[in-house]
Structure 1
Amino acid sequence: MESSTQLVILAGLAIGLVYGAVGLLSGFCLMSSMRGWLADGDGRLVRTYALAIAVAVAASQFLAGSGTVDLGKSIYLQQSFSVPVLFLGGLLFGYGMVLSNGCGSRALVLLGRGNLRSFVVVIVLGIAAQMTLKGLIAPARIALVQASQTTVSTNSLPSLLATLGLAEGPARALAAAAIAIALLLFAFAHPAFRRSPGQIAAGVVVGLLAAGGWYVTGSLGADDFNPVPVTSLTFIAPIADALQYAMLSTGLTLNFGIATVAGVFAGSLVTALATGRFKLEGYSSPRHMLRSGSGAALMGIGGVMAFGCSIGQGLTGVSTLALGSFVAVAGILLGTTAGLRGSLRVQPLAVA
């Protein structure tokens, strides 16, 4: 294994460790954020998420603008993509997230805390994702994409602004500043959030971790002879890859995503043990298990269709300012909202 690849894997593990610790201590999770905002009237967590996106956008676009990282090599900034599949995948993921009471990254964090419900979520999500990537569901997904994809000349907000006559640099700066400032204003307009230093710190740290992932894979891992994919925090395909690696490590290689998944679990576990938060928990009923597993399957399928999850698209994808990411995030938010409010609302279960 080349030294650059080893460095990327170690850095991915470190990023995962920090994310796992921060996720456990702060409760960082889009589903929890949306539930607190829409159902419980507590808007602090959603402000944490907004702050994380603002930091990720600003830091990632700085790396791209300075030439440190070429975000165009990521999966998000493609010239051809399917708007209907991205949106539908987001819908499925968002609704599945409510059914499972959390996304893939949150499941890893809770698993480290001893939540055995999350073990089922991680396993089912990984299997469903692998089936959609390469297995029985893959032909249907590919057919849908081929039937509905379009090729565009403008695949990001900066490139869209460039069509108005702006140069690349100013267009990137304007787009990043507009998104980041709007999110910062939304976050800090909330008095309770301003009085929550822990949530503010969590938002800043998670946003920097997303940008750090771009730096690790796009700069430290930039090797003409042994390149690594330019990516950052995301949890659908990496969870599937991690499960496959755990079962069939011979002939497979570690990568940034697998290392990050392992790091998130380990970071949460160590933090839970150190702070006395570790506690074994299970399902309250067979119905609860069925619902949770169904949600995990929807997240695995939808996450692959949407090219990412609430972190992979909601944070990492948006940090590239890719237009496709905003489509996927719109689907995720709508699916989550449908699960929390309205006629499709998922009725809450009494769980710890």
Structure 2
Amino acid sequence: MTMESTQLVILAGLVIGLIYGAVGLLSGFCLMSSMRGLLAEGDGRLVRSYALAIAVAIAASQLLVGSGTVDLGKSIYLQQSFSAPVLFLGGLLFGYGMVLSNGCGSRALVLLGRGNLRSFVVVIVLAIAAQMTLKGLVAPARIALVQASQTSVGANSLPSVLATLGLAEALSRAIAAAVIVVALILFAFAHPTFRRSPGQIAAGVIVGVLVAGGWFVTGYLGADDFNPVPVTSLTFVAPIADALQYAMLSTGLTLNFGVATVAGVFAGSLVTALATGRFKLEGYSSPRHMLRSAGGAAMMGIGGVMAFGCSIGQGLTGVSTLALGSLVALAGILLGTTAGLRGALRVQPLAMA
């Protein structure tokens, strides 16, 4: 039974990754592209797609919690103590690095499947920097920062904040989820061009459902009393680091949901690119371009670990739990991305090859 449940989780992770890779390639789903479209190009469709994905992820994930199917309290996002400064700083680093590298970790995997060799450098450097921050040379500094600034909180999520007002837990969850979901859906569909973009609408819905699907797979299908699977869903910084390590040391490691998802995203993008004629080898335009891209990837690896996730891992998966820490991390990611796209710290565009 243990082997069966573990294998089922890995297979489901692969399928979720395959779907995400295909959708990501066809729709261009990416927070950095969304923010660039909104702030630099005046095109708000992609950011609406991202907002819709958050809404669907929250609604579906909270339904799983409300029905007792999944306990999101077992995830890394809903801890009783966390360091808001480190989460925010990590988000800032990740967001700015995302602009330097022209996309987040999941986007790099999707573009790599399309033949973008710049993304190969981004994925490798991100993986190394993340592993250094998780367990390597940077880890002691990260741990010291967290220990110096973490606080224990009685309320670690929006529903638990409402519960302090005397509301029942189920009602608190329903109110918190409903307010955010309705606001995000109104924001998305208030945009006329988005309403006429069925591909972007579909992408937002599918990605949101995939987040809830990840929770269901790891939190329900993987709920084995003897060998429980960590309760998680779509996230890419630590899994990309684990995937690189697994590729090098597979005989001493076990395959998990995250590694399977990473492999699935690359494979889904590659198959879709080949099937639609979008596959094209691309490289760097200059050594400076490569240096900037690699530097951004290192910032994403370090910042993503500090923030407990990336623009997908915190921006969608973490936020779907309604965790306060995830909102702090997402605020950092959005601010870091905005700084890279507008203002004094704006990253100047480079000519692409």
TM band (smaller chain) = over 0.9
Partner of 2:113 in structure 1? 112
Task: Give the CA deviation at 1:13.
Answer: 0.1
1:267 aligns with 268
CA root-mean-square deviation: 0.5
1:305 to partner: Cα distance: 0.1
Give the unaligned 5+ runs of structure 1: none
User: C-alpha distance in 1, partners of 2:48/2:239?
Assistant: 27
Question: Per-residue displacement from partner, 1:138-165 (whole Å, max 9, x unpaired)?
Answer: 0000000000000001000000000011
Distance in 1, Cα, partners of 2:349 & 2:270: 27
The corresponding residue for 2:139 is 138
Tell me the CA shift for residue 250 of structure 1. 1.0
Structure 1 runs of 4+ aligned residues shifted over 3 Å read none
User: Which residue of the partner structure matches residue 23 of structure 1?
Assistant: 24
Measure how far apart 1:226 and its partner are.
Answer: 1.0
Q: 1:81 maps to which residue?
A: 82
C-alpha deviation, 1:351, in angstroms: 1.5
Identify the residue that residue 152 of structure 2 maps to in structure 1.
151
Consecutive unaligned residues in structure 2, runs of 5 or more: none
Equivalent pairs, count: 352
Query: 1:247 & 1:15 partners in 2: Cα distance?
Result: 24
Which amino acid counterpart does residue 152 of structure 2 have in structure 1? T
**Alignment match, 2:99:** 98
Amino acid at match of 1:342: G
Q: 1:11 aligned to 2:17?
A: no
Give a deviation string over 1:242-300, Cα, whole Å, max 9, x none: 00000001110000000000000000000000000000000000000000000000000
Identity %: 88
Report the secondary structure of 2:309's partner residue: coil
Alignment partners' CA distance in 2, 1:227 and 1:2 = 11
Cross-structure match for 2:196: 195
CA distance in 2, matches of 1:247, 1:297: 20
How far apart in 2 are the matches of 1:307 and 1:33?
Answer: 22
Aligned to 1:122: 123
CA-to-aligned-CA distance 1:122-147 (integer Å, 9 cap, x gap): 00000000000000000000000000
Measured in 2, the distance between the counterparts of 1:351 and 1:26 equals 21
Please name the residue that 1:180 is paired with: 181
Q: How high is the TM-score relative to the length of structure 1?
A: 1.00
| 1:350 CA displacement | 1.8
Question: 1:69 corresponds to which letter in structure 2?
Answer: V
Structure 2 equivalent of residue 235 of structure 1: 236
Alpha-carbon distance between aligned partners in 1 of 2:351 and 2:44, rounded to the nearest angstrom:
22
CA distance in 1, matches of 2:176, 2:62: 9
Shift of 1:320: 0.2
Which residue does the alignment assign to 1:333?
334
- 1:249 is paired with a residue whose SS is helix
Letter in 1 for 2:293: S
TM-score, length basis structure 2: 0.99
Question: Which residue type is aligned with residue 343 of structure 2?
Answer: G
Secondary structure of residue in 2 paired with 1:227: coil
Distance 1:119 1:271 in 2: 18
- What amino acid does structure 2 have at the position aligned with 1:65? G
Secondary structure at 2:329 match in 1:
helix
Q: What is the deviation of 1:349?
A: 1.2
Find the counterpart in structure 1 of residue 300 from structure 2: 299
Give yes or no for the alignment of 1:49 onto 2:50: yes
Q: Which residue matches 2:59?
A: 58
2:167 corresponds to 1:166: yes
